[in-house]
């Protein structure tokens, strides 16, 4: 039932965040795979965008929910010290609340009253493997929301928040405080905090490379196999072209 202090992690520059916000999660996952991170352990397959069309890039502040048990629930911090509220206060602009919510939409992790605080704090978004209530109101608060589904269930009958800023498993994917999350309509991807800047730079370049390949294939009327998947020769040709553009 600990509320751990935030884990120091190198923050991405605003330029890198803006660059990630402009690209799709598929490019990020491809680059993670090319750099030794197995996609099955970095991609949340069952989480969907509850604010369709919104893209989210943010640094994780984590919360872990556990199944309900009255004797344990009675001992956890209450009121403003409850783990989810501790996370809200630890988070700010550019952060994302990441909740391990028992992989069940019956575990409602909050709704319009709770998430008003996220709007007040300027939090970038929330990702959970549970359900979110009151999306008809919450969708207009500003943060992007990702979860298993919407729900009308009362979460406290199913489980409760237990820990803040520990290591969590969301939809079977490990997330640590300070990791970066990239989420859009295609899915949610975790970027490990220690390599976030390197992965971000490579993903932004890879997205540009794919755009260049599409343009070449379209102009030349060729099979994708001419340039895709890109090898070192294709990448070098792209970099030479880009340098020539100034």
Label residue 2 by pLDDT band (50, 70, 90).
low
**Which pLDDT score is estimated for 4?**
67
Residues 78, 85: Cα–Cα separation, whole Å: 9
Q: Token pair of 65, please?
A: 């929910």
Residue whose C-alpha is closest to residue 209's, from 237, 238, 180, 169: 238
Residue with tokens 């020769």: 233
Q: How would DSSP label each residue in the chain? A: --BPPPPP-PPPPHHHHHHHHTS-HHHHHHHHHHTT--GGGTEETT-EESSTT--EEEEEEEEEEEE--HHHHTTS--GGGSHHHHHHHH--BTEEEEEE-TT-TTSB---HHHHHHHHHHTB-EEEESSEES-HHHHTTSSSEEEESEE----GGGTEEEEEESS-EEETTEEE-TT-EEEEETTEEEEE-GGGHHHHHHHHHHHHHHHHHHHHHHHHHT--GGGTSS--HHHHHHHHHHHHHT-
Kindly list the structural domains of the chain, giving each domain's residue range(s) and its CATH number in brackets, ordered by start.
14-193 (3.50.30.40), 199-244 (no CATH)
Residues 58, 190: Cα–Cα separation, whole Å: 10
**Which pLDDT score is estimated for 243?**
94
Query: pLDDT of 94-116, one tens digit each?
Result: 999 999 999 999 999 999 999 99
Residues 67, 73: Cα–Cα separation, whole Å: 9
**Which pLDDT score is estimated for 1?**
55
Residues 133, 175: Cα–Cα separation, whole Å: 23
The model's pTM = 0.93
- β-sheet bridge partners, residue 55: none
Q: Token pair of 198, please?
A: 């390197």
Do 111 and 76 meet the contact criterion of CB atoms below 8 Å apart?
Answer: no
Query: pLDDT of 38-52, one tens digit each?
Result: 999 999 999 999 999
Query: pLDDT of 138-194, one tens digit each?
Result: 999 999 999 999 999 987 778 999 999 999 999 999 999 999 999 999 999 999 999
Indicate if the pLDDT at residue 10 is higher than 70. no
**Which pLDDT score is estimated for 190?**
98
Residues 74, 123: Cα–Cα separation, whole Å: 29
**Which pLDDT score is estimated for 110?**
94
- Residues 123-132 have a mean pLDDT of 98
Q: What percent of the chain has pLDDT above 90? A: 90
**Which pLDDT score is estimated for 22?**
98
Residues 88, 81: Cα–Cα separation, whole Å: 10
Q: Token pair of 197, please?
A: 């800047």
Query: pLDDT of 58-68, one tens digit each?
Result: 999 999 999 99
């Amino acid at each position: 039932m600990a509320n751990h202090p935030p884990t120091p992690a190198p923050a991405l520059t605003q330029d890198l965040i803006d660059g990630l916000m402009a690209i799709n999660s598929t490019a990020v996952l491809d680059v993670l795979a090319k750099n030794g991170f197995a996609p099955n352990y970095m991609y949340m397959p069952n989480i969907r965008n509850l604010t369709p069309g919104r893209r989210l890039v943010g640094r994780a502040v984590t919360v872990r929910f556990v199944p309900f048990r009255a004797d344990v629930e009675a001992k956890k911090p209450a009121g403003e010290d409850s783990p989810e509220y501790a996370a809200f206060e630890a988070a700010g602009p550019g952060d994302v609340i990441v909740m391990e919510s028992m992989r069940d939409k019956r575990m409602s992790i909050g709704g319009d009253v709770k998430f008003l605080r996220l709007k007040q704090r300027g939090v970038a978004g929330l990702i959970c493997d549970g359900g979110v209530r009151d999306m008809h109101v919450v969708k207009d608060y500003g943060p992007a929301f990702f979860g298993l589904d919407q729900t009308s269930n009362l979460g406290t009958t199913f489980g409760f928040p237990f820990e803040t800023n520990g290591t969590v498993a969301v939809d079977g994917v490990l997330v640590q405080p300070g990791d970066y999350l990239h989420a859009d309509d295609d899915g949610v991807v975790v970027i490990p905090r220690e390599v976030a800047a390197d992965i971000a730079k490579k993903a932004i370049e890879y997205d540009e490379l794919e755009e260049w390949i599409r343009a070449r294939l379209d102009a030349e009327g060729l099979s994708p196999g001419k340039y895709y998947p890109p090898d070192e020769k294709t990448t070098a040709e792209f970099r030479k072209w880009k340098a020539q553009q100034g």
